[in-house]
Chains A and B, each alone.
Chain A
């Protein structure tokens, strides 16, 4: 039994230490935002934030997540609340990235989009006002692999990141 910090809460888990974090999140904790897309760190469907870095939970052994703060799609509202010093328990409003994803009607099937929103959050925390070129760079070459969308939502994602940036700057 080890304890990990997920979405701001200390959480004991039973899975063996070599279990990929993705299985722990989905099967043991019922956190189903991250999806299984490849299990090979090649697509980004399973992305979560470890501290403030986007990682692929499909290849990250549980043991390596111990002691670091994990944020999944479910934890984005709380993360946004905490970053503004607001109480993060209970119902927090959606993270600006999530708001922008809805306003821009970004997902098609949506299966890749949890990972896309995690990547967008990482980008906007480091680069609050990214150019389109920086967005493309972030989603293509900054991580272990490009974030892949088979439905072709890249144009909508670029527009949504710009919108999220505007919402975040308004606070």
Chain B
């Protein structure tokens, strides 16, 4: 389906500052309503206009605009609609239109993450303000005090007279302004506290309504980003440098006999082959690849040397971050403890590995550059493209479409191909579509950083945890550089450094994993950061670029922490689940652990199991537990595994997960999202590790970076704990992927008596540990 080019008409330019000054509080006096539509202002919507967020239309339907775009979470098509319908007292079906992610058609910006805890307050407030305005209009129309009115199904009724919201706005010119605040990079926030509906009166929140985007995807009517085709558009493939540090020596030429319409474009170290025909572009790119020469580079440590290199990295230049309740002076407790655990835990590099490689279409015109893409942060991408082109923000428009999930890769703006499409479109003077190959997506995208954590735990004579110390180490995440701009030598952000410029990212590592065993108060948690591996050694300043990936940082830290807690329980001769409950004070921590205990039929006993074995051909079995607090949600899981010691093959047989997100907005959707998150976590734990040599990532396809298949799926049992009394929506399902790795490691210990402090739990990693003394 072709997409019309963006409207290129020049519009009056207003800066954000002026917009903000223009916004006051909501003016609910009827006399103050006057003409103002939610039209674009300098190719942005005015966020201080209420109808930039929510529009009630004369046919009594509602349009909602959000800067967040959907990556499969479905939140904007389910929870957001439910929240709006609830606050407005309308049916869910009345919320018919959702505009997501486009920089010229949505008001708020910010990233497509934290949908519920970060994004939902805006949606709720916009709806609540709108309802207040409707009450005023209704009171005026019906001639009764607003206190007498209660909306029902999109209408007010008094004494036999009924007026719909649509009737109230029909033919009216309304100006409703609200106060907003820009919170970079989280986007616009609506301030103030309009009255909201009490949780006890919820009728729509809590129901399993369908995700409205699923029907269009299933029935082939969705417009995916991959479907965008513009008139005169050409296709491009990039010819990548031979290594992550290679400079161009000489670019090959296109064999014009074989590929008559293909052309080569070279800009710095960016080499591309373009053609009106996609197949010709990809064939010609292969031919040019063979004829293009690059300098050699070998500056990476390889997988074998990774953890040694990480250990020796410069952790001193980046300020150490301490956990909230960390205390100096716990050393004597650790030294004097009756029993101590001292161990190091390792997490490999992992790929976001979207099922479709990144792609984008760009159309660079004299006055506006439009990028058609699938990004988790359109406003950030807009800023990056403007920076690269040296133009004002108003000259860049980002349009977002459905696409493959990225799991955080594009939450700092780009997913990879956008800037390359812009560079090539500018060069050719026509729209260009850049499609990365599977190999490029494995080798040239960012990844989740590797990490290691040193932990010490002290137990007293009764087996109580009296002190806990952790030092988490992880190279910088969130390298938001435009890789095409780096190769072409165009302006872009610097890589993460100790002292980043505005909008740049630092090497700081944070305490992502909140301590959940508050019965133990003598704790010291530190997070250490450093630069990305290979970044300084690469002549291109590239190296192994990292980016946040689902539950970023916390994934790495929680693996170490939760496995260490299971080990401490074993050292204490205690059941690992009861050990956790005994050290918790927060009733929600206890509640979620009890829920997973009951749902899994957990029988208390210490690990390892009485019949554990680390050799032989007979399968041995074990179970392990893990828990997590993330984004106001509490999680616990039990994984049951079987393992054949002679082969080292680990099979997960059952996975039971309990989650307490506060208010459960949509049980069916949450269940599906939790299953998805848990499955991703199983995949990470059992299979995933980025393999690399001294020159770059060696995985080029799904054989080199395997993920879980359906045959490997255990039974997953999900228990949702709805806690309306908490009054907040929690963090959806993001944390679901964190649980499996530490629980499976604990289960392997239960089954074999051996501890694997790194994953993936592949035979290559399992066998050496089983064979150790």
The residues of B that contact A155 with a CB separation of less than 8 Å are: 675, 679, 713, 716
Among B405, B710, B713, residue most surrounded by chain A Cβ atoms (within 10 Å): B710
Distance (Å) between the CB of B702 and the closest chain A CB?
4
A146 touches B402 (CB 8 A): no
Distance (Å) between the CB of A124 and the closest chain B CB?
16
Residue interface mask B712-736, A partner, CB < 8 A = 1: 0100100000000000000000000
Q: Does B404 contact A (CB under 8 A)?
A: yes
The residues of B that contact A33 with a CB separation of less than 8 Å are: 220
Distance (Å) between the CB of A53 and the closest chain B CB?
19
Q: Which of A20, A45, A111 contacts B405 (CB 8 A)?
A: A111
B676 touches A151 (CB 8 A): yes
B707 touches A45 (CB 8 A): no
Residues A140 and B710 in contact in the complex (CB < 8 Å), given A19-B279, A40-B438, A112-B355: yes
Q: Compute how far the CA of A158 lies from the CA of B73 in the bound complex, rounded to whole angstroms.
A: 20
Closest to A32 in B: B227
Q: Does B354 contact A (CB under 8 A)?
A: yes
A42 touches B701 (CB 8 A): yes
For window 7-27 of A, CB contacts with B under 8 Å fall at: 15-16, 18-20, 23, 26-27
The residues of B that contact A38 with a CB separation of less than 8 Å are: 357, 438, 701-702
A109 touches B405 (CB 8 A): yes
Distance (Å) between the CB of B238 and the closest chain A CB?
15
Q: Compute how far the CA of A35 lies from the CA of B677 in the bound complex, rounded to whole angstroms.
A: 23
Q: Does B669 contact A (CB under 8 A)?
A: yes
Which of B101-109, B144-152, B209-217, B314-322 is the interface stretch? B209-217
Residues A36 and B435 in contact in the complex (CB < 8 Å), given A15-B279, A102-B218, A150-B354: yes
The residues of A that contact B668 with a CB separation of less than 8 Å are: 105
Q: Does A74 contact B (CB under 8 A)?
A: yes
Number of A-B residue pairs at CB separation under 8 A = 171
A136 touches B218 (CB 8 A): no
A145 touches B702 (CB 8 A): yes
Distance (Å) between the CB of A51 and the closest chain B CB?
20
B355 touches A149 (CB 8 A): yes
The residues of A that contact B219 with a CB separation of less than 8 Å are: 94, 98
B72 touches A110 (CB 8 A): yes
Q: Does B403 contact A (CB under 8 A)?
A: yes
Q: Does B474 contact A (CB under 8 A)?
A: no
Residues A151 and B356 in contact in the complex (CB < 8 Å), given A32-B220, A40-B701, A42-B701: no
The residues of A that contact B680 with a CB separation of less than 8 Å are: 150-152
Q: Compute how far the CA of A15 lies from the CA of B276 in the bound complex, rounded to whole angstroms.
A: 12
Distance (Å) between the CB of A38 and the closest chain B CB?
4
The residues of A that contact B435 with a CB separation of less than 8 Å are: 36
The residues of B that contact A40 with a CB separation of less than 8 Å are: 438, 701-702
Q: Does A6 contact B (CB under 8 A)?
A: no
Q: Does B673 contact A (CB under 8 A)?
A: yes
A136 touches B224 (CB 8 A): no
Q: Compute how far the CA of A111 lies from the CA of B683 in the bound complex, rounded to whole angstroms.
A: 18
The residues of B that contact A150 with a CB separation of less than 8 Å are: 353-355, 404-405, 407, 680, 707
Q: Compute how far the CA of A112 lies from the CA of B217 in the bound complex, rounded to whole angstroms.
A: 10
The residues of A that contact B701 with a CB separation of less than 8 Å are: 38, 40, 42
User: How many of chain A's residues touch chain B, expressed as a range?
Assistant: 35 or more
The residues of A that contact B357 with a CB separation of less than 8 Å are: 36-38
Q: Does A47 contact B (CB under 8 A)?
A: no
Q: Does B226 contact A (CB under 8 A)?
A: yes
The residues of B that contact A146 with a CB separation of less than 8 Å are: 709-711
Distance (Å) between the CB of B413 and the closest chain A CB?
19
Q: Which of B279, B402, B676 contacts A16 (CB 8 A)?
A: B279
Q: Compute how far the CA of A114 lies from the CA of B226 in the bound complex, rounded to whole angstroms.
A: 14
The residues of A that contact B703 with a CB separation of less than 8 Å are: 42
B405 touches A42 (CB 8 A): no
A152 touches B678 (CB 8 A): yes
Q: Compute how far the CA of A9 lies from the CA of B701 in the bound complex, rounded to whole angstroms.
A: 35
Distance (Å) between the CB of B68 and the closest chain A CB?
14
Distance (Å) between the CB of A120 and the closest chain B CB?
11
The residues of A that contact B356 with a CB separation of less than 8 Å are: 35-37, 45, 111
Distance (Å) between the CB of B75 and the closest chain A CB?
12
Among B217, B277, B683, B702, residue most surrounded by chain A Cβ atoms (within 10 Å): B217
Q: Compute how far the CA of A135 lies from the CA of B710 in the bound complex, rounded to whole angstroms.
A: 9
Q: Does B672 contact A (CB under 8 A)?
A: yes
Q: Compute how far the CA of A111 lies from the CA of B441 in the bound complex, rounded to whole angstroms.
A: 16
Residues A152 and B676 in contact in the complex (CB < 8 Å), given A39-B438, A110-B217, A113-B218: yes
Q: Compute how far the CA of A168 lies from the CA of B710 in the bound complex, rounded to whole angstroms.
A: 23
Q: Compute how far the CA of A107 lies from the CA of B404 in the bound complex, rounded to whole angstroms.
A: 11
Q: Does A4 contact B (CB under 8 A)?
A: no
Q: Does B71 contact A (CB under 8 A)?
A: yes
Residue interface mask B223-236, A partner, CB < 8 A = 1: 01011010000000
Q: Compute how far the CA of A12 lies from the CA of B40 in the bound complex, rounded to whole angstroms.
A: 44
Q: Does A137 contact B (CB under 8 A)?
A: yes
Q: Does A153 contact B (CB under 8 A)?
A: yes
Distance (Å) between the CB of B667 and the closest chain A CB?
11
Residues A137 and B355 in contact in the complex (CB < 8 Å), given A105-B211, A107-B214, A153-B676: no
Closest to A153 in B: B676
Residues A73 and B220 in contact in the complex (CB < 8 Å), given A140-B710, A146-B711: yes
Residue interface mask A95-111, B partner, CB < 8 A = 1: 00010011001111111
Q: Does B222 contact A (CB under 8 A)?
A: yes
Q: Compute how far the CA of A140 lies from the CA of B709 in the bound complex, rounded to whole angstroms.
A: 6
B710 touches A157 (CB 8 A): yes
The residues of B that contact A107 with a CB separation of less than 8 Å are: 72, 214, 217-218
Q: Does A79 contact B (CB under 8 A)?
A: no
Closest to B678 in A: A152
B679 touches A102 (CB 8 A): no
Q: Does A148 contact B (CB under 8 A)?
A: yes
The residues of B that contact A43 with a CB separation of less than 8 Å are: 355, 702
A108 touches B210 (CB 8 A): no
Residues A108 and B405 in contact in the complex (CB < 8 Å), given A32-B226, A152-B678: yes
Q: Does B594 contact A (CB under 8 A)?
A: no
A140 touches B711 (CB 8 A): yes
Q: Compute how far the CA of A94 lies from the CA of B217 in the bound complex, rounded to whole angstroms.
A: 12
Residues A32 and B224 in contact in the complex (CB < 8 Å), given A111-B404, A113-B217, A146-B711: yes
Distance (Å) between the CB of B717 and the closest chain A CB?
10
Closest to A62 in B: B279
Q: Does B437 contact A (CB under 8 A)?
A: yes
Distance (Å) between the CB of B376 and the closest chain A CB?
12
For window 674-707 of B, CB contacts with A under 8 Å fall at: 675-680, 683, 701-703, 707
The residues of B that contact A80 with a CB separation of less than 8 Å are: none
Q: Does A147 contact B (CB under 8 A)?
A: yes
Closest to B675 in A: A155
The residues of A that contact B354 with a CB separation of less than 8 Å are: 111, 150
Q: Does A156 contact B (CB under 8 A)?
A: yes
A102 touches B215 (CB 8 A): yes
Q: Does B136 contact A (CB under 8 A)?
A: no
Q: Compute how far the CA of A113 lies from the CA of B435 in the bound complex, rounded to whole angstroms.
A: 20
Q: Compute how far the CA of A105 lies from the CA of B703 in the bound complex, rounded to whole angstroms.
A: 29
Q: Which of B229, B679, B711 contacts A152 (CB 8 A)?
A: B679
Q: Does A30 contact B (CB under 8 A)?
A: yes
Residues A108 and B672 in contact in the complex (CB < 8 Å), given A102-B215, A152-B680: yes
Distance (Å) between the CB of A122 and the closest chain B CB?
15
The residues of B that contact A154 with a CB separation of less than 8 Å are: 679, 708, 710, 713
The residues of A that contact B71 with a CB separation of less than 8 Å are: 109
Q: Does B653 contact A (CB under 8 A)?
A: no
Distance (Å) between the CB of A64 and the closest chain B CB?
15
The residues of B that contact A26 with a CB separation of less than 8 Å are: 226-227
Q: Compute how far the CA of A153 lies from the CA of B73 in the bound complex, rounded to whole angstroms.
A: 12
**8 new A-B pairs (CB below 8 Å) besides A18-B279, A27-B278, A110-B222?**
A30-B1, A38-B438, A40-B702, A45-B355, A110-B214, A150-B354, A156-B672, A158-B710
* 6 chain-A/chain-B pairs, Cβ below 8 angstroms: A32-B220, A35-B226, A102-B218, A139-B709, A148-B702, A154-B679
Q: Taking beta carbons and an 8 Å cutoff, which residues of A are in contact with B? A: 15-16, 18-20, 23, 26-27, 30, 32-33, 35-40, 42-43, 45, 72-74, 94, 98, 101-102, 105-114, 117, 135-137, 139-141, 145-158
